Amino acid sequence: MPALAKGAGLFCVAVFSQVVAAVVLVGMLLSSVGMVFLFPATVRLMRRMTRLNRRLVAAWTGTPVDEPYLPEPAPPVPIAEGWYRDGRSLYKTPLIPAFNRRLNWLLKDSATWRDFGFLAADMWAGGLIAGAPLLLVVVGAVQLAGGNLIGLTWPLLAIASARWYAPWALHVYGVIARTFLGSTEKARLAQQVDRLARARTEVVDSQAAELRRIERDLHDGAQARLVAVGMTIGAAEELMESDPAAARALLAKAREASSTALQELRQLVRGIHPPVLAERGLGDAVRAVALDTAVRTHVSVDLPGKLDAPLESAAYFAVSELLTNVVRHSGASEAWIDISCQGPTLRITVRDDGHGGADPSRGTGLAGIERRLAAFDGVLALSSPPGGPTTAVIELPRALSVSPRPPVTWRTITTGICWSLCWIPLFPQGFVAMILKLVGTPEKSWFLALYMPERLQWPTIIGMIVLGAGMLATASVLTARHRNAKDAACA
């Protein structure tokens, strides 16, 4: 019954989508005849409706649908004279350049037109599939109201088939919605470029801060000690003849200072790029950090080999920062580190038995890890409820070589045929013929069902609709499977 209710709800949303599609169409037509200021508002209305569809599909069908929109354009920046340039024109205020940029962004984004296509076709494709039981009940109620007892058949049929049909219909609706409303390769690339551009800016700022820290450590630490060593040796040289014992004491002090300076330099080099990481790889470098950690740490490594040096460095310093947080803030007695690969993705899990409560917004350590990982399109997922335990998961996609793509199979041909031909039985031979039949027009044109004997016309029309919907559902399912396989191969 919940699946039936969800299907009925999706059908009602599909009906409302038709109304929104009609409003959007009017707005686009008015925009094309000079009222261009209506176009952004029309697109905003359309995107609000499709966002509602995405949320309902994700919640009711279990099929997540990512937003496919290209990143918004940056606001206009004034030139040296304070004017704003838009093409060959100059403006005193950024209003018109910003509007033109936004209009150009909306017009050239293919997701704008795919959203409109989904709203226009939603009721005739996925909506009819999801709401078929509701329609059967309505047809039965209408026939019963007219005194036709055969109307009892349709509600009984809907109830009898609900157990297997309703979940299947929800799944098909989710696949169709993801096919129309899901992210395209172009949108994913544009979004990734936008994320990487922001990450690059943050990484450049972080590297500049790191260089300033290294300069400060060298100036205040090793450099100051080396200067002191030189002065101590100079003083020892002056006392060598007059007071050999004092000179030897000064030389001993200089040796201790040089040893301390060497240790500081080693720590500084280890903070830049540890030698063990370059020589032994990520697994042994993390084991070395675990041995120096005050908390008992268990390390499990399952890697096929060495990774790229920049990626290894990012993963190493992320783990080091997480272990530092464990020692300083968690109050844990033990920690566990698991490093493994899932396909081409590197996954690192750091878990402790502390009191939890970690929050990235309250400190810079976790935020720094996120900035470092963002340069490689990586993510940090943190679970730290009050009372513990704390679990941090790092994922770095495309860390390993990608397997070759599978060869083209019969699914590609079947998908192409279904996408190309499903509209013929669904619309002209199905719904259009049904409307002509209900109206009673004598025009038959090329509608196959209208040339059939009277008793076969309705079965033919219904069969055409079922055939078109089945081809559409098959094409959507095969496309979704191909997309999932492609995402898994490229992740």
What are the structural domain ranges in the chain? 2-70+109-183, 188-272, 281-396, 410-490
The answer to whether residue 287 scores a pLDDT higher than 50 is: yes
The answer to whether residue 235 scores a pLDDT higher than 70 is: yes
pTM metric for this prediction: 0.51
The residue whose two tokens read 């009222």 is 35
The first and second tokens of residue 74, run together, are: 């940056």
- 50 close to 66: Cβ distance less than 8 angstroms: no
* pLDDT attached to residue 113: 87
Q: pLDDT digit string (tens) for 374-396?
A: 777 788 888 888 887 888 898 88
**Residues paired with residue 345 on neighbouring β-strands, in sequence order:** 342
Q: pLDDT digit string (tens) for 115-142?
A: 888 888 887 777 778 877 777 777 778 7
Question: Which of the two residues, 78 and 196, has the higher pLDDT score?
Answer: 78
Q: What are phi and psi of 486, to 5 degrees?
A: -70, -40
Mutual orientation of helices 2-32 and 132-145 as an angle, nearest 10°?
A: 100
In whole angstroms, what is the distance from residue 224 CA to residue 260 CA? Answer: 11
* pLDDT attached to residue 337: 92
Q: pLDDT digit string (tens) for 41-62?
A: 999 999 999 999 888 888 888 8
The answer to whether residue 199 scores a pLDDT higher than 80 is: no
Average pLDDT over residues 173-183: 82
Question: Which of the two residues, 202 and 62, has the higher pLDDT score?
Answer: 62
Average pLDDT over residues 62-89: 81
The first and second tokens of residue 374, run together, are: 């963002």
- 206 close to 314: Cβ distance less than 8 angstroms: no
The answer to whether residue 271 scores a pLDDT higher than 60 is: no
The answer to whether residue 92 scores a pLDDT higher than 80 is: yes
- 346: pLDDT confidence band, cut at 50, 70 and 90? confident
Mean pLDDT over the full length of the chain: 79
* pLDDT attached to residue 1: 55
Average pLDDT over residues 59-86: 82
Q: pLDDT digit string (tens) for 136-167?
A: 777 778 777 777 777 677 777 777 777 788 88
* pLDDT attached to residue 405: 47
The answer to whether residue 71 scores a pLDDT higher than 60 is: yes
Domain 281-396: CATH class, spelled out: alpha beta
In whole angstroms, what is the distance from residue 98 CA to residue 87 CA? Answer: 12
Average pLDDT over residues 451-473: 83
The answer to whether residue 288 scores a pLDDT higher than 80 is: yes
* pLDDT attached to residue 491: 47
Average pLDDT over residues 16-22: 89
When mean pLDDT is compared across 70-79, 265-274, 286-295, 429-438, the lowest value belongs to 265-274
The three-state (H, E, C) secondary structure of 166-192, written as one string: HHHHHHHHHHHHHHHHCCCHHHHHHHH
